[in-house]
């Protein structure tokens, strides 16, 4: 258990493949299949979905990490060969639903990446809003070598992080990126020493939780959609979201605090 976090109750306490903990406005969701490198079985996927459609209203930020030596080694391949085409399609859509609940849910989500971030594990990481990598992290998309294709949203989300060309390379050749390469190409937002990822995630999560909730929601929900629009429509949508955000009473108070010199000015990073 991370410092001062306590086991979450209610439905979260019934999820045996996850460890769900709370501290104030922060929710920590830890994948808990270390013997399987936290590979995603149908049951684990369903439990992740359950968490992110039941985020308590007083939670402001969620953190996802993995128990043991790895974040997530992807799809549990022992469950693949038993499906026909229709079942495979339905299975892929269940991944989409679970990961959409993360990306398009009510709160920003920060992931802590270490060890294997492979296949469906990389698809999961790509659904989070910020990614912190420890130096042990490595990234791969071995679907090409397995005779399958990404099915958890990776073909949509991962190229938006690293581009189609890099993803093509990873899938065709089995290329593996280490933590430094992943940081340089956009797979992670932060790179930290081994064992420091969760502390960094909590530090960032607390900072994010201090923002106005409406502003956080606009950043995680409106910004990616605006980026997909043609410029003229995007600019109109920006004006609409900007006017909604600045009309919020929480935003007005923050502006007043800055004008009254009760809020710090932006300074150069130390």
Catalytic residues: 123, 143
Q: Residue 59 and residue 210: Cα distance in Å, rounded?
A: 12
Q: Which residue has the tokens 């581009």?
A: 163
CA proximity to 67, closest of 143, 161, 2 = 2
Report how far residue 65's alpha carbon sits from residue 83's, in angstroms, rounded to the nearest whole number. Answer: 29
Cβ pair 193, 202 in contact under 8 A:
no
Q: Give the Cβ contact number of residue 34 at 10 Å.
A: 13
Contacting residues for 134 by C-beta, under 8 A, at least 6 apart: 112, 113, 114, 179, 191, 192, 193, 194, 195, 196, 197
**Edge-to-edge strand order for the sheet containing 177-178?**
116-118, 138-140, 177-178
- Beta carbons of 112 and 134 less than 8 angstroms apart: yes
């Amino acid at each position: 258990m991370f410092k001062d976090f306590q086991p979450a109750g209610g439905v979260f306490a019934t999820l045996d493949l996850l460890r769900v903990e709370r501290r104030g406005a922060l929710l920590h969701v830890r994948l808990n299949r270390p013997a399987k490198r936290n590979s995603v079985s149908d049951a684990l996927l369903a439990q992740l979905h359950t968490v992110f459609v039941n985020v308590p209203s007083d939670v402001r930020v969620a953190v996802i990490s993995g128990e043991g030596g790895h974040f997530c080694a992807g799809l549990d391949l022992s469950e693949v060969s038993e499906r026909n085409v229709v079942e495979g399609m339905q299975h892929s859509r269940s991944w989409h639903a679970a990961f959409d609940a993360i990306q398009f849910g009510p709160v920003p989500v920060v992931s802590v990446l270490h060890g294997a971030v492979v296949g469906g594990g990389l698809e999961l990481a790509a659904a989070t809003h910020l990614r912190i990598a420890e130096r042990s992290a490595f990234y791969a998309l071995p679907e090409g070598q397995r005779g399958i294709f990404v099915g958890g949203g990776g073909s949509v989300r991962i190229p938006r992080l690293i581009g189609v060309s890099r993803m093509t390379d990873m899938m065709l050749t089995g290329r593996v990126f280490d933590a430094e390469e992943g940081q340089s190409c956009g797979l992670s937002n932060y790179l930290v020493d081994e064992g420091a990822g969760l502390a960094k995630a909590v530090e960032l999560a607390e900072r994010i939780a201090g923002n106005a909730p409406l502003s956080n929601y606009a950043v995680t929900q409106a910004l990616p959609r605006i980026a997909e629009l043609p410029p003229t429509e995007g600019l109109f949508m920006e004006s609409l979201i900007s006017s909604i955000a600045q009309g919020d009473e929480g935003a007005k108070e923050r502006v007043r605090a800055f004008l009254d010199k009760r809020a710090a000015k932006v300074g150069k990073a130390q």
